[in-house]
Amino acid sequence: METGKLTDSAATVIIGQKVRAGFERAFKTWQEDVNAAASGYAGFLGAEIAPPTATQNEWVVVYRFDSVAHLQAWINSATRQDFLDKGGQYFDGPATQQVISGGIRPPDPLVTVVVTHRVNRDSVADFLAWQTCLTHEEAEFEGFRGSELFRPIEGVQDEWTALYRFDTAANLATWLTSERRKEILAEGEKFSDFELRTIDNSFGSWFAFDDNGNEAAAPSDTKTSIAVWVGLYPTVALLTLALSPLKMPLWLGLLIGNLFSSFIMSFFTMPYYVNRVLKRWLRPPPEADAAKTNLRGVAVVTALMLAWVIIFYLVTTRFWMLP
């Protein structure tokens, strides 16, 4: 759903909710309806749902709005409250919620930890120094990919929110259970009033972020489908050519080919080919003329697909006959 562009004034809310056993499917359907309702509110940029994983024991919903005010309007709306009243039957306990103001870096295919701290006003300087030390030590551990610290938002949230990311759950666990972390937590004992949650982004989103690494609303469903097609055709064709000498039966060839194409699409084709070539069409700058942008996008897509068709036609009928 393409509704806007994330800016430094944007606001993100991360909501965690445990769901009663047996109600997972009904909750997901309910949450999708909630997100659809949110999309009708001013400033809506996007919403995502992530089910529990081995490292994330609750459903996580992320809303992005272009400002804290617009986010608050949705969070406090009668519409959302009506949905919460109806969805209460699915909840296993109260939800957790963190609000972050400003653009944030993408989670990539990483595991993200969200930590919220309550800090007295007269201890802010000490807290910042302690956080700097904590970040420095985290960076020495394998798999660390960065951290961010967000200040409280007056009238919305009193807690400081820290995000830090590791490339795998195993490397994150090494840090979380390390003796060095225990020592640092002991040194910052007066900041021990905190909550820690893990969000598993191991499958990420092909379209969740712009080319500068900032969060952004996903392109429209039509653009997304066409972009996947642009990447899927050459990926599947090349895999078919690569696997054809093995002369596998159809059912086995499709099984293995689909597995490889999923990995290639996620880790190479989409981020390094499609998103770069089509970036001005998938996410045009705010000042761009929509009609011209779409015409150029269609032209680029047509040229790309025509080129691939010619290449694979020549390869499979002139240079190499498939068995």
In angstroms, the CA 112 to CA 194 distance is 16
Q: Which positions ≥6 away from 174 have C-beta within 8 Å?
A: 141, 142, 143
Query: What tokens appear for 22 in the block?
Result: 């047996």
Give the tens place of pLDDT for each residue, 58-68: 898 888 888 88
On the question of pLDDT at 203 being above 50, the answer is no
Output phi, psi for 60, to 5 deg: -120, 130
Q: What is the mean pLDDT of residues 13-23?
A: 89
Using 50, 70 and 90 to split pLDDT, how confident is the model at 28?
very high
Q: With pLDDT > 90 as the criterion, what percentage of the chain qualifies?
A: 17
Quote the CA–CA distance of 261 and 212 in Å, as a whole number. 26
Show Cβ contacts of residue 146 under 8 Å, excluding neighbours closer than 6 positions. Answer: 105, 164, 165
The pLDDT score that the predictor gives to residue 295 is 92
Cα–Cα distance, 213 to 210 (Å, whole number): 5
d(Cα 162, Cα 164) in Å, to the nearest integer? 7
Q: Are strands 44-50 and 59-65 parallel, antiparallel or unpaired?
A: antiparallel
Mean pLDDT taken over the chain? 81
Neighbour order of strands in the sheet with 160-166: 144-150, 160-166, 111-117, 194-200
Confidence of residue 251 (pLDDT cuts 50, 70, 90): confident
pLDDT digits (tens, 9 = 90+) for 180-191: 998 988 888 888
Domains plus CATH for the chain?
A: 1-105 (3.30.70.100), 110-200 (3.30.70.100), 221-319 (no CATH)
Residue 154: pLDDT band (50, 70, 90) is low
In this structure, the chain runs to a length of 323
Four-residue CA torsion sign, 83, 85, 90, 92 = positive
Tens-place pLDDT, residues 155-174: 667 788 888 888 888 888 89
In eight-state DSSP terms, residue 115 is E
CA distances from 82 to 23, 76, 86, 191 (A): 19, 11, 6, 37
Say if residue 108's pLDDT is above 60.
no
Alpha carbons 252 and 258: distance in angstroms, whole number: 10
pLDDT level of residue 276 (50, 70, 90 thresholds): confident
Is the pLDDT assigned to residue 207 strictly greater than 80?
A: no
Q: Cβ distance 167 to 145 under 8 Å?
A: yes
**Confidence grade of residue 98 (pLDDT, cut at 50, 70, 90):** confident
The contacts of residue 240 (CB under 8 Å, 6+ apart) are 257, 322
Which of 72-81, 122-131, 151-160 is predicted with the least confidence, judged by mean pLDDT? 151-160
Structure tokens at 55: 């490292």
Question: Which of 91-95, 145-149, 291-295, 302-306 has the highest average model confidence (pLDDT)?
Answer: 302-306
Would you say residue 129 has pLDDT above 80?
A: yes
Q: Compare 301 and 6 and report the one with higher pLDDT.
A: 301
**Spacing of C-alpha 21 from chain mean position:** 25
> Is the per-residue pLDDT at 96 higher than 90?
no
Rounded Cα gap, residues 282 and 285, in angstroms: 10
Q: Which residue has the higher pLDDT, 33 or 199?
A: 33
Indicate the pTM of the whole model.
0.48
Structure tokens at 298: 């269609």
Contact 322, 316 (CB under 8 A): yes
Q: How far apart are CA 46 and CA 48, in angstroms?
A: 7
Model confidence band, residue 105 (pLDDT cutoffs 50, 70, 90) = very low
Are the C-beta atoms of residues 75 and 132 closer than 8 Å to each other?
A: no
Query: pLDDT value at position 155?
Result: 66
Q: Lowest mean pLDDT: which of 93-97, 140-144, 183-187?
A: 93-97
